[in-house]
Structure 1
Amino acid sequence: MITAYRDNGEAVVISAVKPPVSLPSDIVWIDMLRPDKAEDLLVEGFLGIDVPTRDDLKDIEPSSRLYTAKDAVFMTASLVCKAESGQPELTDVAFVLTKGLLITIRYDEPKAFDLFTAAMHRIPGGCTTGTVLVTRLFETIVDRTAEILEIAVARIDGLSLQVFGDRPAGKRRPPHFLEAKLMDVASHHRLVAKTRDSLASLSRVLTFLYTVPTVQENKDTKELCRTISRDIQSLSEHASFISGNITFLLDASLGLINVEQNAIIKIFSIAAVVFLPPTLVASLYGMNFDFMPELKWAYGYPMAVVGMVISAIVPYYFFRWKGWL
């Protein structure tokens, strides 16, 4: 689907079935969402450039992501999408500046684009050129990335309270509670990792965009580009801090699991020690010797039973006194 935007934020849908003869003069942005071959050819005919395909967007080499050709600037950035779901993903989006227009090619729907189109008409001074528009769009993308990190922080704080929060006295955690929380830790780590990758990609793109002549010629755009770069740096440091918190939460959860497992093993160990003296008594009187005085004694059996009970009770209270139980 091809959606063209006028400088006042008004959207115009362009169909490849009944294409217009030419683009309206006030169009500043062409947004291509999951374009097919016919739509690629249509835009290429309008602008005289080669539109990057899905395969082109997958290239990871800097020379394939950031370059200039035929007076057009090509940039590819990796953006986070589906952040609110349990399976966040990175999607590659191409940004092309040519003839005063911005062309975006994407095969997914990052929320930043919806936020930008909804507020495009409220941008101070308007988006009269593709250069102004792309810097404002990157500003919205970075703001959305900051929001994603806030979502991650809120989720991690909630998970931390579940793992380390106070429990009512005598109430135990459900079986495999901590093991289940490890899956949540992995999910949060995936979100933060994807965000860090996106910030690294955006940092490269903004560094390249800052050198574009049309950006250098506009003082406001140049300053905005520099501000966005500083924001990306700050967010990258914040993402590293969050990643450290996730690592701590993972290590602490594993430590708690080991503590619980050690407590179970300790119970079995103490039980084995408690029953060892009665076993010794029973083994002693189970020997097949002819001369054992207690075998002929009328109270021999009760005495042996009492001896086994006492030999079990004494270690138990000894362990209680030492605080091992």
Structure 2
Amino acid sequence: MLNVFTLKNGRLVQQEVDNPQTLAGLQPVWVDLESADPRELGWIEARFGLVIPTDVLDQDLEESARFYEEEDQNQLHLRSDFLISDEERPRNERVAFIIYGSVLFSIHTHDLTVFRLLRLRARRMPGLIENATDVLLALYLTDAEYSADTLEGIYDDLEVIGAHILKPRPSDQDASEALTGIALQEDLNGRIRRNVMDTRRALSFLLRSRHLSAEQSQEARQILRDLDSLDGHTAFLFDKINFLMDATVGFININQNKVIKIFSVASVAMLPPTLIASIYGMNFKVMPELDWSLGYPFALALMVLSVIAPFWFFRKKGWLE
């Protein structure tokens, strides 16, 4: 899919492009290629003279290959990860950026929330975007804000999990559901931290490249300060996640200990009747109760009493609570 954006009255306007002739008549500031096919890549090469490498979204690139500048061709290349906080499968999506001349080219595989948010904001706020570098910085700023909103959502979800698991006498089912929720939030929090680290590296590269104006450099430094605050928040959430994880595992152990305690009490309570049955099961000729007509019910009553007595004692001591 080929999305082309031009500036009109200070606003970012999306243009529909379905043939090379339409593309040739536009002066875009941003060209977004989402799962672009070879035909669309050919249009880009014919219109702008830019050949997009086939390995542009390679996940195994070294840092030197992720951020670099081709001075002889006036190209700036960046590879950045953007967060997708999908409830079912949160992930980081790799996006390749190429600033070529006065146009920003972005190449990615899936639709990104950050890109949608920027398009919506740029349509409503005139003057937000003036050139290709502004689009790139605005994407990083929107990504930082999106990460911050996601962190707030993680905190809210952990509050719900905490109230669920820290209630009196949580069941094993409660603990199991809490563990699942905690694991999901931990994974999402880790992805946000990775995303923040990657964005920081990209902004540092832009500052070193000297392609930013004084105003843009100031904006990039402000975004870096925002990212630093997100780092502290992710660390706080990791501590909260670890606390809830320890508490949940502790409640599971307590519930398991209760089951083991019941079995232990039952086994101890059955020892006296076993002893009595063993005594009266002995085959000796001289036993006082052998000729007693009430000997059998007496032995049964004695065994029942020997079971009740330990349970009464354990309950009085509070060991069955």
**TM-score, L = length of structure 1:** 0.91
Report the alpha carbon displacement of residue 21 of structure 1 after superposing the two structures with TM: 6.4
2:192 aligned to 195, 201, 226, which one?
A: 195
Q: Secondary structure at the match of 1:86?
A: coil
Tell me, yes or no, if the aligned pair for 1:72 and 1:97 is still in contact at 8 Å. Answer: yes
Q: Would you say the 8 A contact 1:57–1:76 is kept in 2?
A: no
Query: 285, 290, 310: which is aligned to 1:315?
Result: 310
Partner of 1:250: 245
The 1:166–1:258 alpha-carbon spacing in structure 2 relative to 1, beyond 3 Å, is closer
Which stretch shows the higher mean deviation, 181-190 or 198-207? Answer: 181-190
SS at match of 1:60: coil
| Cα pair 1:6 1:29 within 8 Å, conserved | yes
Which runs of structure 2 are paired with 1:136-147 in the superposition (5 Å)?
136-147=138-149
Verify: 1:80 aligned to 2:75, yes or no. Answer: no
The reply on whether 1:306 has 2:301 as its aligned counterpart is: yes
1:175-214 pair list within 5 angstroms: 176-214=173-211
For 2:5, the equivalent position in structure 1 comes to 5
CA distance in 1, matches of 2:186, 2:234: 10
CA offset digits 1:7-41 (Å, max 9, x no partner)? 221111222x444463523x211111111112122
What does 1:106-255 correspond to in 2, within 5 Å? 106-123=108-125, 125-166=127-168, 173=171, 176-215=173-212, 218-255=213-250
Greater shift, 123-132 or 290-299, is seen at 123-132
Contact 1:57 1:94 in 2 (8 A): no
Identity among equivalent positions (%) equals 31
Contact 1:9 1:121 (8 Å CA) reproduced: yes
Contact 1:80 1:90 in 2 (8 A): yes
Any gaps of 5 or more consecutive residues in structure 1? none
Q: Contact 1:87–1:187 at 8 Å: present in 2 too?
A: no
TM-aligned CA deviation for residue 163 of structure 1: 1.0
What displacement does 1:186 show? 1.7
Alignment match, 2:32: 31
- For 2:75 and 2:108, how far apart are their aligned partners in 1? 18
Q: CA deviation at 1:248?
A: 2.0
* Preserved contact between residue 34 and residue 110 of structure 2 (Cα < 8 Å): yes
Contact persistence 1:5–1:12 (CA under 8 A)? yes
Secondary structure of 2:143's counterpart equals helix
Aligned to 2:100: 98
> Could you report, residue by residue, the CA deviation over 1:103-139 in whole angstroms, capped at 9, with x for unpaired residues?
1111111211111001103446341211122112211
1:274 lines up with 2:277 in the alignment: no
TM-score by length of 2: 0.92
| 1:67 is aligned to 2:68 | yes
Aligned amino acid, residue 191 of structure 1: L
> Gapped runs of 5+ residues in structure 2?
none
For the residues of structure 2 that align with 1:199 and 1:53, how far apart are their CA atoms? Answer: 27
